[in-house]
Structure 1
Amino acid sequence: MFTGKEEHKVSFKKAQALIKAYQKNKAKKEVKALYYGKDAISKILRQRGCIGLRIYYAKKTTGANTLVITGVDKKGNDIVKGPLAEFGFPCPPYCPPDKSIIIEPPEF
């Protein structure tokens, strides 16, 4: 089903357009992005048989939206007996200090 070599490339311009379209009608303080450290992602990817990631949209008991990240094997099965990730640091307040042009494109 999967090989781990699937292409997910997107141009910077297309990425900006996709993100801008999503954020167009969002409140200023609504979460725009989540940061995950490379160690958390690496632990998932290093599991035996893991060839990729699946990212689930999820909701905390507080009502806040989040993501749950699992490893995926070549048959497309989630690898749930190893490390998973959930606690991403939300932007805001953990936004890029340089006002990332992906999140807030400059006006020319």
Structure 2
Amino acid sequence: MQEPRKPSDKFHGDVGSFISASDAKSRTRQHRAFEEGKLGLKPDEITKAEFFGINRINKLMGRKDCVGIRIYYGKRYEDADGDPTTQDKGELKPRLVLVGVRADGSDIFEDTEGLKDRGDGDALADGAPCPQFC
């Protein structure tokens, strides 16, 4: 009998698989088809992707004890240009949130409570959405 895997077995620099362009295109095409079919959204209403700059990703990855990133699905209220708004002035849109992760699987958040300098942010968000910036 095989010994159960520890959570730390899943959190290292080589987790994930490279896939072919055709597989990537197929997966994203299926997502868009689901959104269109099940939710009745038009192609220009579906968030296909977000772009994040390499300098921001490197800064996130450069945090102490970081072995990788976790990408959370999130939502925020935005106007038609993708700028943040309040609930009564915008539409709830899907957005990604990237967080550094330690080898034990915990998210890397700096505890800045009560400090004058709140740091430079614990997570990376607000990438350039596609459509709008594809």
Shift of 1:83: 3.6
Alignment of 1:90-101 (within 5 A): 90-95=129-134
What CA distance in whole angstroms lies between the structure 1 residues aligned with 2:19 and 2:74? 25
Structure 2 regions of 5+ residues with no counterpart? Answer: 1-7, 78-89, 111-120
Deviations along 1:23-62, one digit per CA (max 9) or x if unpaired, are: 1125221221111101111111001100000011111144
Shift of 1:6: 1.7
Describe the SS at the equivalent of 2:129.
Answer: strand
Which residue of structure 1 lines up, in the alignment, with residue 52 of structure 2? 36
Which residue of structure 2 lines up, in the alignment, with residue 9 of structure 1? 18
Q: Would you say 1:77 and 2:93 are equivalent positions?
A: no
Does the 8 Å CA contact 2:66/2:101 hold for their aligned counterparts? yes
Identity of aligned residues (%): 31
Describe the SS at the equivalent of 1:79.
Answer: coil
Does the 8 Å CA contact 2:51/2:128 hold for their aligned counterparts? yes
Picking from 76, 89, 113, the partner of 1:60 is 76
User: Cα RMSD over matched residues?
Assistant: 1.4
**AA of the residue aligned to 2:23:** K
Q: TM-score, normalised by structure 1?
A: 0.81
What CA distance in whole angstroms lies between the structure 2 residues aligned with 1:41 and 1:3? 17
Describe the SS at the equivalent of 2:96.
Answer: strand
Count of equivalent residues: 95
* Higher RCO (CA < 8 A, seq sep 6+): 1
Does the 8 Å CA contact 1:43/1:83 hold for their aligned counterparts? no
Which residue of structure 2 lines up, in the alignment, with residue 50 of structure 1? 66
What CA distance in whole angstroms lies between the structure 2 residues aligned with 1:50 and 1:69? 12
Structure 1 regions of 5+ residues with no counterpart? Answer: 96-108
Which residue of structure 2 lines up, in the alignment, with residue 86 of structure 1? 125
